[in-house]
Structure 1
Amino acid sequence: MNEMMLGGFLSAVSTGIGALPVLLFKRLSHRHMDILLALTAGIMVAASVYGLMPTALKLSNLFVLCCGVLLGVASLGVLEEYLPHADIEHAKSGVQLDSKSFLLVVAMSLHNLPEGLSIGVSYASQVEGLGNVVALSIGLQNAPEGLLIALFLTNQGIRRSTAIGLAVLTGSIEWLACLLGAHLTSSFSKLIPYGLSFAAGAMLFIVYKELIPETHGHGHEKAATFSFIVGLLMMVCILVWFG
């Protein structure tokens, strides 16, 4: 139990750790921002297509995968349509999240739910070493995701401290899901493939709808494209080495 709590916590907190480098960036040029966003977009695509989707297929079938991916895409489309922005009260003034920022935070939070459940179920399965491997691989994926969240939010005018706080919030959801999955393994084990494919669909929606257009509007398309490929290959290597 203690090992599961520690592994789940470290995996979740890596999202906040990954966001910390934004404190070092007083200002990022459009070129550097496009490169970093494209890098993390590549990581998200690889995590979805090479990590989440194959795992969902192993645990279920093609029908479940397609349903989950399409549901994830449709859910994010509905959120974007009907939840254009959200206001967060912060001290003396309100911090406003525009539709892009709000959508990104919601997508990352949603995709952390099945990942947290996966960690919890892996530890509860009693298969030796499985929980640690799953927690490590997801934690390595969470760090660049935290940086992505923080970079994207700061680029939209959100204060750096608030951006890091929101990244930490998305990670904490994963830890809670990990605890829940460990305690309710019998119920959630059947739902995990749906959750994993749902997460993949949500991530792919964000990449294609928001991140790629964001990196192709300032004249740095070629650099962003190479950065996307590097990010994709980085995540594939991580999944092969630790998956």
Structure 2
Amino acid sequence: MFDIIVDYLSSISPAYAALIATTFTWFVTAVGAAFVFFFKKMNRPFLDTMMGFTGGVMIAASFWSLLAPAINMSEGESFVKVMPAAIGFLGGALFIFVLDKILPHVHINFKKTEGIKTPWQRTTLLVLAITMHNIPEGLAVGVLFGGAASGVPEASIAGAVILAIGIGLQNLPEGIAVAVPLRRMGMSRRKSFLMGQASALVEPVAGVLGAVAVSLFTPILPYALAFAAGAMIFVVIEEVVPESQQDGNTDMATMGFIGGFIIMMVLDVALG
């Protein structure tokens, strides 16, 4: 089945392949948001474990799927070889840092509003927070598809598919983490679901843009891969890990992180 998917995505344009893959990651978010039809409250230990899992997947994907290929495909030796990855990584982290300071949003625990002041409701701010975090995920998938289509050896369709699967796995708890709190605040199940799944709609957009950009400008590929990695790791360290540790379920969150890292590493190395 995996080989069939890879063969099919190899036969179509990178933008279309990225669209299909990131539509899958959006769909998994929607599945998570659909939990709102069955539950009104979150089981906090479960959510913290899954948030830890999300962090583990993102960290593993950042290295195995993005940073390592970015370094390997760069020309030169020593410092020269690693500079594109370093520059791209810093650029990705700064990009999310700036968004975090400008875009109004609120974290899952609803305890702190960040970004510029706005009269928007806290429910909208929660959706914006998750939406902001989904940008680098979609971008990472698209960049890999674009690189593979351009014939770069270090970027493969199989690797892009594995990355999409990993991101899809960690999008499940994100969908839950948006929709269920909205329901708990009194929003209808239908509207909670719609807003929960909408938080991932940015992924197909970012995925297509990433694939097109790399297809047109192949030399930016190592920078683009590292950019996505820097953005993802910033999200993990700035929010995902701290959020998973806030309610005292530190051991469960940590083991969730370990599990997510191992799963993503095994998938990437064994299949990618």
Question: Per the shorter chain, which TM-score range?
Answer: 0.7 to 0.9
Q: Is structure 2 residue 248 aligned with structure 1 residue 238? A: no
Q: Distance between the aligned counterparts of 2:63 and 2:157, measured in 1?
A: 22
Q: Deviations over 1:127-175 (max 9, x none)?
A: 8xx7531332232123124324323323653822212122133233313
Query: Per-residue deviation at 1:76?
Result: 1.8
Query: Per-residue deviation at 1:176?
Result: 4.2
1:45 equivalent in structure 2: 59
Q: Distance between the aligned counterparts of 2:170 and 2:209, measured in 1?
A: 18
Q: Of the candidates 128, 148, 155, which is equivalent to residue 102 of structure 1?
A: 128
SS of equivalent to 2:124: strand
Q: Distance between the aligned counterparts of 1:64 and 1:155, measured in 2?
A: 41
Amino acid at match of 2:124: Q
Q: Deviations over 1:4-50 (max 9, x none)?
A: 36533331111122211331352321111101111111000100122
Query: Per-residue deviation at 1:236?
Result: 0.2
Query: Per-residue deviation at 1:70?
Result: 1.7
Q: Is structure 2 residue 34 aligned with structure 1 residue 23? A: yes
CA 1:79/1:148 → structure 2, altered by over 3 Å: closer, same or farther?
same
Q: Of the candidates 69, 78, 93, which is equivalent to residue 55 of structure 1?
A: 69
Preserved contact between residue 115 and residue 196 of structure 1 (Cα < 8 Å): no
Q: What is the aligned residue count?
A: 232
Q: Distance between the aligned counterparts of 1:126 and 1:211, measured in 2?
A: 32
Preserved contact between residue 116 and residue 175 of structure 1 (Cα < 8 Å): yes
Q: Is structure 2 residue 206 aligned with structure 1 residue 173? A: yes
SS of equivalent to 1:157: helix
Q: Distance between the aligned counterparts of 2:55 and 2:211, measured in 1?
A: 25
Q: Distance between the aligned counterparts of 1:39 and 1:120, measured in 2?
A: 28
% of aligned pairs identical? 22
Give runs of ≥4 in structure 1 deviating > 4 Å. none
Q: Is structure 2 residue 100 aligned with structure 1 residue 80? A: yes
1:112 equivalent in structure 2: 138
User: Structure 2: any 5+ residue segments left out of the alignment?
Assistant: 1-9, 75-80, 106-114, 184-191
TM-score, normalised relative to structure 2: 0.74
Q: Distance between the aligned counterparts of 1:241 and 1:35, measured in 2?
A: 25
Amino acid at match of 2:125: L
Q: CA RMSD in A?
A: 2.9
